[in-house]
Amino acid sequence: MGAQRGRETTPQHVAFVMDGNGRWATQRGLPRLSGHREGIGNVSRIAEALVACGVRYMSIYMFSTENWKRPGEEVDGIFELLVEWLGSTAAGLKDNGVAFRHLGRREPLPLSMLRSLDSICGEAPAAVSLVLGLAINYGGRAEIVDALRTLLAGPMQPGEIDEAAVSAALYTADMPAPDLLVRPGGEQRLSNFMLWQVAYTELYFSQVLWPDFDELELERALSAYRERHRRFGGL
């Protein structure tokens, strides 16, 4: 869990809440979906910048279990854009050493999305430069419920269940907890992202809308992180 203390250098895992796509489009008089297209397109820019900085894990919140409340047209449009991105840009990232994980519940994602996710997440590249967790149909509470179901169906007795067992039953089982969580778009909340994992994560909020969140904004977030002093409850 990266439990080193003292001044930080480079985070091992940076988590992002991809927020502000809709407003980015509205401000330009464009339909919200063009903001989603731009925002999804920005993921590779940030992934590549993280690799250049030596960060090993990235996760990105792309569609929440609560986002189903949006109009069907927007939901369908987002899925179409995601499927397109998974088959093109994401596949290119994989060729360049990015290993993908799906973080989220499979049901009720459409078959096209599941196929794309299975294809991108299967067979990791030989040399992995970055592990990228795609939080699609992700909810922090749903993840904890799913972990409880896994544990209850498994061989462990209640008294044997510890924090490591819960961590291993989460969607993020083989990823360390995020060291830094970045939320662009101006909102200062988690919106049900990584509730278990962020126990000791450093939080960074930015006014910049996700489609405009570039290498310079990333450097601002990383340099803010370097100024933090993590204590993990110690002195």
Q: Which residues are catalytic?
A: 19, 67
Site string for ligand IPE, 2-31 (x = CB under 6 A): ---------------xxxxxxx--------
Asked if residue 202 lies in contact with residue 182, where contact means CB atoms within 8 angstroms, the answer is no
Options 61-69, 96-104, 105-113, 162-170: segment touching ligand IPE (CB under 6 A): 61-69
Question: Closest separation between CB of residue 189 and ligand IPE, Å?
Answer: 6
In 3D space, the residue among 188, 193, 182 whose CA is nearest the CA of residue 222 turns out to be: 182
Question: Closest separation between CB of residue 73 and ligand IPE, Å?
Answer: 13
Should residue 78 be labelled a site residue for ligand IPE when binding is judged by CB under 6 A? yes
Q: Checking phi first, is residue 54 left (phi over 0); if not, alpha (psi -120 to 50) or beta?
A: left
| Cα 98 from Cα 92, distance rounded (Å) | 9
Comparing CB distances to ligand IPE, the nearer of 12 and 59 is: 59
Tokens standing for 232? 């993990």
Comparing CB distances to ligand IPE, the nearer of 62 and 131 is: 62
Should residue 19 be labelled a site residue for Mg ion when binding is judged by CB under 5 A? yes
Angle (deg, nearest 10), helices 72-87 and 111-121: 30
Question: Closest separation between CB of residue 124 and Mg ion, Å?
Answer: 31
Question: Closest separation between CB of residue 3 and ligand IPE, Å?
Answer: 28
| Cα 48 from Cα 29, distance rounded (Å) | 30
| Cα 107 from Cα 21, distance rounded (Å) | 25
Interface contacts to ligand IPE, rule CB under 6 A: 17-23, 61-64, 67, 78, 185, 187, 189, 191
Q: Point out which residues bind Mg ion (CB under 5 A).
A: 19
